[in-house]
């Protein structure tokens, strides 16, 4: 899609096919078990950490299929949503750009840290990456989060591409 087409609205936004999956990913990241059972910090930082973790699972699954370009579109939805959240928090326009650079860098770094462990279903390597990238309450369990992320990867891997995009079968 060309810039002019997007600007004038002459072609549909290709991200729209991924919006149900994005909303489902956010919903999964808000699953109470992460915060009660695993003791992820139930604050802005902890919730952001879980959104990036669940997004990484979805993006790794998309990359494993013929939907590599959809993975990039999914990342764009992540960025769009995070920018909107910042604006809702009252972050002004001057600062949003700088913070969005950090947010994008954070997603990329975490995706790079989680990808090998998720692709290899390596619980220990994933736990170590989670220890570095997730904000926990005292007594939090990176093992718990790693287990839940690997369960999610198993579930995602069982879905055909069409079911994945519809996001109806993901628990």
Instruction: Give the mean pLDDT of 29-33.
Output: 94
User: Where would I find the H helices in 89-166?
Assistant: 93-120, 123-133, 142-158, 161-166
The pLDDT of residue 99 is above 80: no
**Whole-number Å distance between alpha carbons of 25 and 49:** 13
**Whole-number Å distance between alpha carbons of 48 and 3:** 30
Instruction: Give the mean pLDDT of 121-138.
Output: 96
Domain-located, residue 10:
no
Domain-located, residue 54:
yes
Domain-located, residue 9:
no
Domains: count for the chain: 1
Compare 107 and 124 and report the one with higher pLDDT: 124
Instruction: Give the mean pLDDT of 48-59.
Output: 95
Average pLDDT, the chain: 86
Phi, psi angles (nearest 5°) of residue 136: -115, 155
Domain-located, residue 5:
no
Q: Which residues contact 44 (CB under 8 A, 6 or more apart)?
A: none
Instruction: Give the mean pLDDT of 69-91.
Output: 78
Give residue 3's pLDDT band: very low, low, confident or very high (50, 70, 90): low
DSSP 8-class letter at 80:
H
- Domain enclosing residue 73, as ranges: 21-159
Domain-located, residue 105:
yes
Domain-located, residue 56:
yes
Domain-located, residue 115:
yes
Domain-located, residue 1:
no
């Amino acid at each position: 899609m060309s810039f002019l087409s997007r600007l004038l609205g002459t072609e549909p936004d290709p991200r729209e096919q991924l919006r149900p999956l994005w909303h489902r990913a956010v919903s999964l990241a808000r699953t109470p078990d992460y915060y009660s059972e695993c003791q992820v910090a139930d604050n802005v930082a902890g919730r952001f950490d879980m959104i990036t973790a669940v997004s990484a699972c979805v993006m790794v699954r998309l990359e494993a299929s013929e939907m590599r370009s959809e993975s990039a579109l999914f990342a764009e939805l992540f960025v769009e949503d995070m920018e909107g959240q910042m604006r809702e928090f009252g972050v002004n326009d001057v600062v949003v750009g700088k913070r969005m650079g950090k947010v994008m860098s954070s997603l990329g770094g975490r995706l790079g840290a989680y990808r090998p462990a998720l692709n290899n279903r390596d619980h220990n390597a994933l736990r170590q990456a989670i220890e570095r990238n997730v904000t926990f309450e005292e007594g939090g369990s990176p093992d718990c989060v790693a287990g839940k992320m690997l369960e999610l990867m198993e579930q995602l891997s069982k879905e055909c591409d069409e079911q994945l995009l519809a996001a109806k079968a993901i628990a």
